[in-house]
Structure 1
Amino acid sequence: MFPMLWQTKSGLFRSTLLWEYTLPLVVIGLLAAGFIFLIILQWRDLSRRVGTGTRWGLCVLRGLAYVLILLILLNPTLMIQKVLRLLPSLAVVLDTSNSMALPDAQNREQGQDPSTSRLDHALKYLRTGPDSPLETFAKNYQVKLYQFDETARPLSAPDLETLEANGHTTDITGSLITLLEENRATPPAGVLLLSDGGHHGSETGLDYLRQANLPVVTAGIGQPETYQDIHVASVQAPSLTFLHYPVTVQATLHIWGYPNTRIPVVLKRAGRAVSTQTVQVTPAASEYQVTFEVLPEDIGEFTYTVSVAPRLGEALTDNNTKTFPISVARDKIRVLLVCGSPTWNYRFLRQAFKHDPSVDLISFVILRTPSDVVNVPESQLSLIPFPTRRLFTQELHNFDLIVFENFSFQSYFPWYYLENVRNYVRDGGAFAMIGGRLAFAQGGYAGTPIEEILPVTMRPDRNDYRALPQRMVLTPEGMRHPITRLASDPQENERVWQSLTDLDAINLVARAKPEATVLGVSSGRFAGSPTAPLLAVQRFGKGRTLALMTDYTWKWNFQMAGQLDSNQYYLQFIRQLGRWLIRDPGLKQVRIMADATEFPLGSEVTGTVKILQDDYQPAAQATPTAQLQTPSGIGQPLSLVPTQNPGEFEYRFGADDAGLYSLDVKADIGHTTHEANRLLLRVSNLGGEQQNAAPNHALLKDIADQTGGTFFALDDPARPPLSSLVDFFGGQPDYKVLEEYRQRIRESFPVLMLILACLAVEWWWRRRVGLF
């Protein structure tokens, strides 16, 4: 009861009156009733014997004695404590992300220093004058300072002198949750949050803050009405498209502060303008969509940029561009298939190519030879003539793969057409010869430019077609090669090949060339050799060639369809044959991989390079070279460090500039230089502070409303006074007891003497008036 506080030189003290009953309160109450009864009896007895004054005096003395006895029984105790006053805590949270380093547009309008940043305005508000917020709050609260960007961190008062706004991103809700978790034991009375409202984190934290019952007062910095900026926020475009197919590129722009203005938006490829669109800015909208149509006319990897020229007064200019890659490929793999006669092998080979939707097949099969006697005019024949001149002089470069299947050229075109095929392969084309009675030496190809490009040397005699059943057995190279890898597991792959039926005939060649890779051989002996090559590949110039010395692979299609109810392995074999020959990117022997699809600015870009031999084993002796091109177009060599794995190298470099880095890697494998597909590495300012720095006071208002707080703009002349903020946060101080002692009335000698004195005076008075 009746707590009191007083301050002395020795400290702060608090006194409290306590009741430490000697007897139970009920007993004390009965005694009090008995004492009252005795006083009444005494009053009645004295009324007949003495006067009124004496009667009152004797009863008062007796009553005072009774009261003192009851007071002893109630035992009032004065507890005096030396205490330490503990003020409630208040969190002051200051935004130090990059956007807070921007100057306000109002500086120039109000005659202030144009370089004064948003952070400077916040610090000036907190520290200006003897009655500054920090000084005022310190009288009523234990002020805890925090700074935040992607998370909240404690801040000391001296650190305010050197505080910088250099955070790469802002997470307001996440930072408030971190603050709450760190003060779970003693939650603050409230939070004063000073920020421009820029937020690039999750929005889910608002529910947590609402349930925490912690009022957040938000002070908005900056002026959304005067902010000026143009931000290319995003670009939607396909990463892969096809030659001569229109591509739609859609860009999203955020524009602040340029109402009633026409702003041109330019799409560039490799620095050259491709298309331009114009945006009409209106006061009612801040987000705009711009659509471009692009018609790719070249194959390869291209870098496109959507950009807007910087305008006067823009807060940021680095966010006026957005760079993105587009890979342009052929829409179809164009295959020319020439067959010498209609056979089962031709039928199923053609079906296999047609089964692949990415293949555009043009096939010619010889149904009649020039020596066949025809008794009708040429114009009345339904069969079209073989357009050899156009195909092998004009259209050859338009094909990705040329296949001669059981075909002899001798009756259809001259020798120099074969030279055109050789030049086509040397410049990067692909060629395959599939056996039969009209193929290889028996087809007249010995000593021709075709033999020069094939991976096998033909026999001098033309009788190389042998009708002897043979099963194709994979070599160790064939077990690993992508053409003959029909199952990912090596043992399962070997089982699949062993289950395939025999081939009824083969073309017997002299030998495989030294630079060739033999993938499959016969299961029997021929001409004293233990085996004969049946499937071989090699590189010629920039291109690739294949020789399949049989025309009975169609039996694999029959067998698989009969035994497995599916001819998937045959289709897979033909598909992989074509993909390897045309240098499908997935089958490259030099491969570049990145550890992430996108890297944040200022981080380290890392990845690996894998190099494979012709048999697709790791190339342990390869020495690759790498060239890196920065977003600014500067080329520089990049070091590749070998890892513990054979044929594997590691690269790393600092992501110092935002944009697209291009990485090219070459390696010499078997006296041939191989290149990896160019890898484009995107480096972005993932934090967003350099992309979108617009003041977002709407978010600050929402946070205040959701948490039971209030919002005010820092530059608002009618902002609430500090006294109202103190009243709003409220909070009562707590006290820590340092020392304590108690003064009990029953232990007080003067009280006992006072009781005796009352009784003694009453006795003396009674004697004097003759009551004894």
Structure 2
Amino acid sequence: MTGTIVFDPLLPWVAIGALAALAILGIVLALWRGLAGWALRALAGLVLVAALAQPAYQEEDRAALTDIVLLVVDKSASQTLAERAGVTDEAAETLEARLAARPNTEFRRIEVGDGEGDAGTLLMTALTEAMAEEPRGRIAGILLLSDGRLHDLERAPDLPAPMHLLLTGQEDDWDRRLIVKNAPAFAILGEPVTLTLRVEDDGAAPGDTTTPLDISVDGAEPQRFTLPIGEDLDLPITLPHGGLNVIEFTVPEAEGELTDRNNTALVQINGVRDRLRVLLVSGEPHAGGRTWRNLLKSDSSVDLVHFTILRPPEKQDGVPVTELSLIAFPTRELFLDKIDDFDLIIFDRYKRRGILPAIYLDNVRNYVEQGGAVLIAAGPDYASADSIFRSPLGEVLPAAPTARVVDEGFRPAITDLGERHPVTSGLAGEDSWGRWLRQIEVAPGEDTEVVMSGIDDRPLLVLDRKGEGRVALLASDQAWLWSRGYEGGGPQLDLLRRLAHWLMKEPELEEETLMAEPTGQTMRIIRRTLAEEVGTVTVTRPDGTTEEITLDEVSPGRFEALYRGPEIGLYRLAEGEEEAVVGLGPAAPREFEETIASGDALEPVIDTMRGGVLRLASGVPSLRDVGEGRPAAGRGWIGLTPREAYETRDVRQLPVLPAWLVLLLASGLTVGAWLREGRR
């Protein structure tokens, strides 16, 4: 129960002040004139001014409220190093017991784990959210049990009471970490990409100057190098293949270092081709030849060399050669010296006319067997006696001509195998495709893949592998009708793009492949196959344990499953003869970028309320009461500021000057002043 005098003025304080000034002026005038009742007049004026202020005695029934102490416990990944987790739990239990024993005190325990994704330790975010749920006037202190490594310092709140950091870790801790400073998401095949590596020793390091470095690509046997410590090293790397390349850098764990979790860095780079170099060989001018040329030239990533036979030897029109030829076409350079520079060679309605010697075509055959790609767009020339099939190149072509040309309209169709093949699966709108008007009858060879058919289910698009390379045969020269929109057209651009990428062995278009698309710590496992079913995928985690994952068929020939990895690192996938590797998580987890316990980052925030930073290695500090603004930490102790907060349950007011008393006093004093002055 407490009491105090309060005022509830009838007039604004300015008006009351003016009236008081007027009364004082009258008293001064009375003194100047020597009136004997001036004192009684002054008392009467004081009573009236006080009455206008309406003083009252207020009595409150108060209930004391407890002080609140926020105990923030860091449970992030860096707190699992060494003995930090055990030390933190023991200190938290000790502090909880001491806070529970303090009179008029209660505590709130807030545990902070790792942030979503790779956000790190969000101590200040958790503290801000906890303070928003408590009255600031009751918070007597904030205790942080952490290694001091946080990643949201900019969200530090305005503190209402002292904050103390009880630091885990030892003063002699040291750690070695590997840093990849620049890791591009894409790199051009055949061109080196430079990665900058750095190894740093933090804390009480032993003073080594070099360390071994192991580099492994796609989980292969690592190669070992020597890396200087504390210096940037520019490492040029040429990607071995297109698609996702997983590069793992590892520094062996040194004796006595805090952890090896930051000794490994995963870099995932997609290998892409700089430009697609295409050689288009047209046997004769026709509408389809212009379409092929326009289609390839429309893609800025394609470098096209177009070789067209405009004047075959049998054409004798009497025009002098000197008036037809500007320069000789470099056939020898293209087909002998520079043939390996091309990613794809297309023969469009080409037949033997003696212009390209057999040795040139034999060189193209060798080009295929050594890993090159050839596409044949066949017209009536393919069924003739001068067919390119009857040249040295015929040894690698996937289908032989029967010499029959069928001239009638038909709508191309995708075969059952084509529904599962990556070149043709999912091509939209098959029922609305326009017709083609001619097809060359061919007989596919053994082990070839017929993915499209035409008239009476005759093979239309045939694929095959020869040696290290690949070949494709389109048994019609009418594909250009799609690009012209004939009867609605069709997906010629998509078909050609997929066909070219399959011929060039892009991993995404392999018939039999196992791959994974990582997103954070989740990956989408994809198994593409021509078979009707697939087995389970064996996932080998970074710690060596395995798990079997069942895939679901999402489209013909494509099986998928989502898998969330329990930890960051390199995962190996296997299903049958197919294998893949993928890295989950960031190249360098944020929680392990800096692992040495330190209060340097939090000191500016702690100093605002004169808190302290103490190591738990020296024991759990005692708790003391300190006044607001006083030093709140010392050797072996930390301070809490009692807030003396209360809750008002009832309020009663008693007027100091009731109206009747004001009237009595004012009138009495006024009459007394008049009588005294009249008597004199």
- Please give the range of the TM-score, normalised by the shorter of the 2 chains: 0.5 to 0.7
2:215 and 2:248 in contact (8 A); partners too: yes
Q: Matched residues in 1 for 2:452 and 2:227: separation?
A: 55
Give the Cα–Cα distance (whole angstroms) in 1 for the partners of residues 547 and 341 of structure 2. Answer: 35
Counterpart residue identity of residue 173, structure 1: M
- 1:242 deviation in Å? 2.5
User: For residues 582 and 539 of structure 1, what CA distance do their matches in structure 2 show?
Assistant: 13
Question: 1:253: how far off?
Answer: 5.7
Which amino acid in 2 is paired with 1:722? Answer: R
Answer yes or no: is the 8 Å Cα contact 1:401–1:429 preserved in 2.
yes
Distance between the aligned counterparts of 2:557 and 2:379, measured in 1?
Answer: 39
Give the distance between the partners of 2:67 and 2:135, measured in 1 at CA.
14
Deviation, structure 1 residue 241: 2.0
Q: Deviations over 1:7-31 (max 9, x none)?
A: xxxxxxxxxx9xxxxxxxxxxxxxx
Q: Decide which of 533, 544, 547 is 2:473's aligned counterpart.
A: 547
2:327 to 377, 382, 403: 382
Q: Supply the distance in 1 between the matched residues of 2:313 and 2:147 (Cα, whole angstroms).
A: 85
Q: Which amino acid aligns with 1:508?
A: I
After TM superposition, give the deviation of residue 365 of structure 1 in Å.
3.3
Residue aligning to 2:295: 352
Query: Is residue 622 of structure 1 aligned with residue 533 of structure 2?
Result: yes
Contact 1:642 1:650 in 2 (8 A): yes
Paired residues in the alignment total 571
1:473 maps to 2:420: no
The aligned counterpart of 2:526 is: 609
- Cα distance change, pair 438–174 in 1 and its aligned pair in 2 (3 A): same
Residue aligning to 1:198: 149
Q: Does 1:88 align with 2:5?
A: no
1:311-349 deviation digits (Å, cap 9, x = unpaired): 565333331231223344543434343333344543442
Deviations, residues 665-701 of structure 1 (Å, cap 9, x unaligned): 568xxxxxxx68x452325698744443222413322
Per the alignment, residue 231 of structure 1 pairs with 177
Secondary structure of 1:350's match? Answer: helix
Please give the secondary structure, in 1, of the residue aligned with 2:354.
coil
Q: Equivalent residue for 2:450?
A: 517
Match of 1:292 in 2: 235
Contact 1:589 1:611 (C-alpha < 8 Å) held by counterparts: yes
Aligned residue for 1:352, secondary structure, equals helix
Which of 227, 236, 249 is matched with 2:195 structurally?
A: 249
Q: Deviations for 1:107-140, whole angstroms, at most 9, x for unmatched residues?
A: xxxxxxxxx758648956985xxxx996487334
1:268 to 211, 215, 230: 215
Which amino acid is 1:548 matched to?
Answer: L
Correspondence for 1:640: 550
The match for 2:597 is 695
Contact 1:232 1:252 in 2 (8 A): yes
DSSP-derived class of the 1:237 partner:
coil
User: Residues 365-404 of structure 1 correspond to what in structure 2 (within 5 A)?
Assistant: 365-366=308-309, 382-384=327-329, 386-387=331-332, 391=335, 399-404=342-347
Q: What's the offset of the Cα at 1:245?
A: 1.1
1:662 paired with 2:572, answer yes
For 1:420 and 1:635, the matched residues in 2 are separated by 50
Identity of aligned residues (%): 22
Q: Quick check: 1:704 aligned with 2:606?
A: yes
Q: Where does 1:217-228 land on structure 2 (aligned, <5 Å)?
A: 217-221=163-167, 228=174
In 1, the alpha carbon distance for the partners of 2:291 and 2:554 equals 45
| Residue 340 (str. 1) matches residue 272 (str. 2) | no
1:176 corresponds to which letter in structure 2?
Answer: L
The residue that corresponds to 1:598 in the other structure is 520
Q: 1 CA distance for matches of 2:443 and 2:191?
A: 46
Write the letter of the residue equivalent to 1:509. E
* Structure 2: segments with no counterpart, 5+ residues: 5-56, 627-631, 633-637, 651-680
Aligned partners of 2:190, 2:444: CA distance in 1, in Å? 41
* Aligned partners of 1:101 and 1:118 also within 8 Å: yes
Q: How many Å separate the matches in 1 of 2:359 and 2:538?
A: 40
Aligned partners of 1:570 and 1:584: how far apart in 2?
19
Distance 1:176 1:383 in 2: 79
2:126 corresponds to 1:175: yes
Query: Residue by residue, what CA displacement relative to the aligned partner does 1:607-629 show, whole Å, maximum 9, x if unpaired?
Result: 3435464xxxxx6x223464656
Distance 2:247 2:539 in 1: 18
The 2-side partners of 1:305 and 1:606 are apart by 18
The 1:100–1:447 alpha-carbon spacing in structure 2 relative to 1, beyond 3 Å, is: closer
- Gap change, CA 1:704 and 1:635, over 3 Å in 2: closer
SS at match of 2:234: strand
8 Å Cα contact 1:455/1:536 also seen in 2: no
> Does the 8 A contact of 2:482 with 2:490 survive in 1?
no
CA distance in 2, matches of 1:100, 1:421: 63
Alpha-carbon offset, residue 174 of structure 1: 3.1
SS at match of 1:176: helix
For residues 86 and 546 of structure 2, what CA distance do their matches in structure 1 show? 39
The AA in structure 2 aligned to 1:243 is L
Q: TM-score, normalised by structure 1?
A: 0.58
CA distance in 2, matches of 1:536, 1:191: 73
| Partner Cα separation in structure 2 for residue 231 and residue 176 of structure 1 | 30
- For the residue of structure 2 that corresponds to 1:509, the secondary structure is strand
Query: Given that residues 382 and 401 in structure 2 are in contact (C-alpha distance below 8 angstroms), is that contact kept between their aligned partners in structure 1?
Result: no
2:503 maps to 1:581: yes
SS of 1:179's equivalent in the other structure is: helix
1:755 aligns with none
Task: State the distance in 2 between where 1:636 and 1:94 align.
Answer: 33
Question: What is residue 439 of structure 1 aligned with on the other side?
Answer: 382
Q: Is the 8 A contact 2:280 2:346 kept in 1?
A: yes
SS in 1 for 2:441: coil
CA shift for structure 1 position 247: 0.6
Cα 1:272–1:413 change in 2 (3 A) is same
Alignment correspondent of 1:189: 140
**1:150 has 2:95 as partner:** no
Q: CA, structure 1 residues 254+568, in 2 after alignment: closer, same or farther (shift >3 Å)?
A: farther
Report how far residue 214 of structure 1 moved: 3.5
In the alignment, is the contact (CA less than 8 A) between 1:612 and 1:647 conserved in 2?
yes
Write the letter of the residue equivalent to 1:175: A
Structure 2 length-normalised TM: 0.65
Matched with 2:440 is: 508
CA separation in 2, counterparts of 1:646 and 1:338?
35
Q: Does structure 1 conserve the Cα–Cα contact (< 8 Å) formed by 2:138 and 2:645?
A: no
Distance 1:430 1:625, change over 3 A: farther
Q: Do the aligned partners of 1:122 and 1:194 also contact (CA within 8 Å) in 2?
A: no
Is 2:246–2:269's contact at 8 Å kept on the other side of the alignment? yes
In structure 2, distance between residues paired with 1:221 and 1:698: 11
Q: 1:427 to 1:657 in 2, by over 3 A?
A: farther
Residue 65 of structure 1: aligned partner = none
Larger Rg: 1
Q: Structure 2 CA distance, aligned partners of 1:125 and 1:507?
A: 82
Shift of 1:233: 4.3
Tell me if the contact between 2:143 and 2:166 (Cα under 8 Å) persists in the aligned partners: no
AA aligned to 1:622 is E
Q: What secondary structure, in the 3-state scheme, does the structure 2 residue paired with 1:473 have?
A: coil
For residue 149 of structure 1, what is the amino acid of its counterpart?
A: V
Tell me, yes or no, if the aligned pair for 2:347 and 2:377 is still in contact at 8 Å: yes
Cα gap change, 1:643 to 1:702, in 2 (>3 Å): farther
